[in-house]
């Protein structure tokens, strides 16, 4: 009955959301729906929402309007973190027909027997305490690399974060199922897998529905390294207190894990880290970066940092800026603090004016450009392996080296999803690196 029905998807937020969107899309295809691009006419539009930043919330209404421009009779469904946190708010957006919370989103096809437009969005969401079971996900067909979900939820109580309220307690996929999914991805000819989750360093907790760790993140890394057919495995964001020396040492000699780490810092001030209720102080972060660079001098290290947190004086901001400036890191992801309902930070004293937050954000984004340029310059006249992406960008094909240097060369469709040995030669005017192919 769904043979001629078309469905389109839009994903806001993190790699984890992309992996879950891909799984939800496969569920639709199994029910006979045809998947199309979001800018095409569809019968159903599914928007996977995010609530990490205020900006992601605001974008939702724009995305809904764009979908209705394509088909004003289309059935609109909202899922994801914002749908769990603010279901009634999303349901009230003009044109939204169905809102599904944390436990319902993977059963979306069960809720769409009737695609008639609703006057008011229908809501199906649970208490977040009920989000205590695990649903595995991975992305295939969306990108050159696959995002493999290994963990969900978080038991940390960072004072600025709504993720525990949106995704529930920390829980993990079984090691057996992770390896099964990795092998399935490998059979599809995908060259790279990115491990993703809310707090992947906590992997193993809740693996079989209990709170204890059946396996550790290190054991997961060791097991995945043995899966045949995967050329690259990349660790996505991992907390510094959970990135252990044994994992760093293993990646340094691994046949498939690449020398690229993304490690949230959030602040270079111990005083602010304590207010944020992070589970480490600055010295731990310094130790991790030092250990990585000692074992893997060419490793790429990305950093998450928040500016404008309550109580961040000019002196404390400069403490963060100067710390990052001195650190041997490669790039920054800068987040401008925004008050999130039901978080401790939202009612803290010392609110920072919005213009000050924006100014500090601009300073750190400028520092990120400087850091990335310096990292790229350090890689000139070195040899690497590049995995090419699938898009033609203004006559060029782009790709990433194993240590996350972004490169470009004139478009050649034969290069898509292939790996090649290269010698980095120069940085182009757009900040990407040119190279010469090495003879095999």
Tell whether 142 and 100 lie within a shared domain. no
- What CATH number should be reported for the domain holding residue 135? 3.30.750.210
CA 97 to CA 122: how far, in whole Å?
Answer: 6
Which tokens in the block code for residue 299? 């490793």
Q: Is the pLDDT of residue 138 over 90?
A: no
Residues 6+ apart with CB under 8 A from 313: 350
Q: Is residue 142 part of a domain?
A: yes
Least confident of 31-35, 137-141, 239-243: 137-141
H or E element: which one contains 187?
Answer: helix 175-187
Cβ burial 288-300 (10 Å sphere, 16+ → b, else e):
bbebbbebbebbb
CA 85 to CA 163: how far, in whole Å?
Answer: 9
Q: Is residue 324 part of a domain?
A: no
Q: Is residue 343 part of a domain?
A: no
Residue ending a domain, among 111, 126, 141, is 126
Tell whether 135 and 243 lie within a shared domain. yes
Rounded (to 5) percent helix, strand, coil in the chain: 35, 25, 40
Tell whether 90 and 136 lie within a shared domain. no
Tell whether 167 and 118 lie within a shared domain. no
Whole-model pTM? 0.91
Q: Is residue 1 part of a domain?
A: no
Tell whether 42 and 116 lie within a shared domain. yes
CA 219 to CA 385: how far, in whole Å?
Answer: 26
> How many CB atoms are closer than 10 A to CB 381?
9
Tell whether 101 and 25 lie within a shared domain. yes
Tell whether 157 and 173 lie within a shared domain. yes
Tell whether 150 and 221 lie within a shared domain. yes
Comparison of pLDDT for 390 and 305, the residue scoring more: 305
Tell whether 99 and 184 lie within a shared domain. no
Residue 15 confidence (pLDDT)? 84
CA 150 to CA 137: how far, in whole Å?
Answer: 8
Q: Is residue 42 part of a domain?
A: yes
**In which domain, by residue range, is 135 found?**
131-258
CA 174 to CA 206: how far, in whole Å?
Answer: 9
Tell whether 60 and 156 lie within a shared domain. no
Residue 75 confidence (pLDDT)? 95
Residue ending a domain, among 204, 232, 258, is 258
297-346 pLDDT tens trace: 999 999 999 999 999 999 999 999 999 999 999 999 999 999 998 999 99
Domain count, the chain: 3
Residue ending a domain, among 215, 240, 258, is 258
Tell whether 121 and 168 lie within a shared domain. no
- What CATH number should be reported for the domain holding residue 99? 3.40.50
Q: Is residue 185 part of a domain?
A: yes
Tell whether 33 and 146 lie within a shared domain. no
């Amino acid at each position: 009955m769904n043979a001629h029905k078309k469905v389109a998807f839009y994903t806001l937020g993190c790699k984890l959301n992309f992996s879950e969107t891909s799984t939800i899309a496969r569920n639709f295809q199994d029910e006979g729906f045809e998947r199309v691009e979001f800018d095409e006419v569809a019968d159903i539009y599914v928007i996977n929402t995010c609530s990490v930043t205020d900006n992601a919330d605001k974008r939702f209404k724009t995305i809904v309007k764009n979908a209705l421009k394509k088909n004003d009779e289309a059935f609109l469904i909202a899922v994801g973190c914002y749908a769990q946190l603010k279901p009634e708010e999303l349901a009230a957006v003009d044109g939204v027909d169905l809102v599904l919370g944390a436990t319902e989103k993977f059963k979306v096809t069960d809720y769409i027997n009737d695609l008639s437009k609703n006057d008011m969005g229908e809501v199906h969401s649970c208490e977040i305490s009920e989000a205590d079971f695990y649903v595995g996900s991975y992305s295939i067909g969306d990108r050159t690399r696959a995002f493999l979900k290994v963990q969900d939820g978080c038991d940390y109580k960072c004072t600025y974060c709504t993720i525990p309220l949106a995704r529930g307690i920390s829980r993990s996929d079984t090691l057996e199922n992770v390896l099964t999914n990795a092998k399935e991805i490998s059979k599809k000819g995908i060259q790279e897998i990115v491990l993703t989750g809310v707090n992947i360093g906590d992997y193993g907790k809740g693996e079989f529905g209990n709170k204890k760790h059946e396996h550790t993140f290190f054991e997961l890394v060791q097991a995945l390294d043995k899966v045949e057919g995967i050329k690259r495995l990349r660790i996505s964001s991992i907390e510094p207190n959970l990135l252990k020396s044994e994992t760093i040492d293993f990646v340094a000699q691994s046949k498939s894990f690449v020398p690229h780490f993304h490690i949230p810092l959030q602040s270079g001030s111990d005083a602010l880290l304590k207010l944020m209720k992070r589970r480490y102080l600055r010295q731990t972060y310094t130790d991790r970066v030092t250990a990585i660079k000692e074992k893997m001098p060419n490793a790429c290290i990305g950093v998450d940092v928040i500016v404008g947190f309550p109580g961040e004086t000019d002196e404390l901001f400069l403490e963060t800026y100067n710390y990052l400036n001195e650190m041997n890191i490669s790039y920054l992801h800068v987040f401008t603090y925004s008050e999130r309902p039901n978080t401790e930070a939202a009612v803290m004293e010392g609110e920072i004016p919005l213009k000050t937050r924006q100014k500090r954000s601009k300073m750190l984004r400028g520092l990120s450009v400087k850091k990335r340029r310096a990292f790229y310059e350090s890689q000139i006249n070195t040899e690497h392996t590049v995995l090419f992406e699938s898009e033609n960008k203004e006559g060029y094909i782009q790709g990433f080296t194993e240590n996350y240097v972004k490169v470009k060369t004139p478009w050649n469709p034969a290069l898509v999803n292939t790996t090649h040995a290269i010698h980095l030669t120069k940085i182009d005017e757009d900040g990407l690196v040119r190279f010469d192919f090495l003879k095999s």
